Amino acid sequence: MISIQDFKKVEMKTGRVISVEDHPDADKLMVMRVDVGEDRPRTLVAGLKDYYEPEELEGMQIVVVTNLEPAQLRGVKSEGMLLAAQDGDKVVVLTLAEDLSPGSPVL
The one-character DSSP state at 71 is E
3-state secondary structure of 106: coil
**In degrees, to the nearest 5, what angle opens at C-alpha 107 toward C-alphas 61 and 87?**
60
CA distance 107 to 92: 21
Q: Residue ranges of the domains in the chain? A: 9-93
The CATH number that domain 9-93 falls under is 2.40.50.140
pLDDT for residue 27 is more than 90: no
pLDDT tens track for 45-64: 999 999 999 999 999 999 99
On the 0-12 / 13-18 / 19+ scale of CB atoms within 10 A, 80 is buried
Global pTM value: 0.93
